[in-house]
Chains A and B, each alone.
Chain A
């Protein structure tokens, strides 16, 4: 997997670097980063220009080549930004250590999005927010078919165009608070929250005094 991304790093800025159209939407989403932030799949760092200044961000990517290209951009960031090589499916951070997790076109690229979302859920503190800028399969049949066909040949380069990320986010235990359409119902700006753990009142508590999610 990291070999594919090392190869794609060479063309990434040209093919995926279009910030003219998506840039303002990304900037608006990233503005909501707060506390300790984990940014997944930073790539060559094209999104760093949209980070609000003064944040405490740990940005990860699976590819050394991507991180090498991201470094000069990270150095220009006015805040704390640490680049770490890590697989989004196997985060080596302790539980509940981040206040915000941000993904940008990540869930299309990880081999197992369910696992990646479970890992995000683990490292995010209860009540923490998940900010996602993702492309998903369209609900429209014709556009959905076009995305399915595109996936046949984008899959070899590590990108799936037809994932149902909204459903996956909910299945991972997040509560989606807000979704904005960036391009049709394909590119979405998603805000979700890891639900707080609350103690049940004594009368409603199970025999082991378990905690439940609301």
Chain B
């Protein structure tokens, strides 16, 4: 009975910690999405020409993402912050480029909203893939 109670307390604690990390991941990915996308938007607003804006904007967005990931690494973990934020900072700024390429120029707010949406989208992908990974390890190595 005592063991069951301590197991339940432990599980509750683990659940609470997992929820806190999920919240941390969500905030971080949204911030990365918004800032990297706004960086690309800024590169287009500087009228460098499409190719230069694309390459320069991508390089700057990746620098922004790397700095942010290094900043939160002690709290969220180095790989746990670096890998998903890299996806956000690669895909989200490209969406702004794609809009510019088709002649639809998004404003700052739209670009920011796009970045936030990509951040949330990546978080959803990470959550789904985490479940799939747990299932894979359980099937491939049944001892787990």
Contact = CB atoms under 8 A, between A and B. Distances in A.
Interface of A: 14-18, 20-22, 24, 135, 139-140, 142-143, 146-147, 149-150, 161, 176-181, 183-188, 191
Contact of A184 (B75, B90, B133): B133
A162 B133 CA distance: 17
Contacts of A17: 74
Nearest to B85: A146
Given A179-B141, A191-B143, A185 B133 contact: yes
A185 B82 contact: no
Contacts of A161: 79
Nearest to A139: B136
A146 B86 contact: yes
A183 B137 contact: no
Given A15-B70, A181-B133, A184-B129, A147 B83 contact: yes
Interface of B: 14, 17, 21, 70, 73-80, 82-83, 86-87, 90, 126, 129-130, 133-134, 136-137, 140-141, 143-144
Contacts of A181: 130, 133-134, 136-137
A142 B87 contact: yes
A46 to B, nearest CB: 11
A94 to B, nearest CB: 30
- Which of B14, B74, B87, B130 gathers most chain A CB within 10 Å? B74
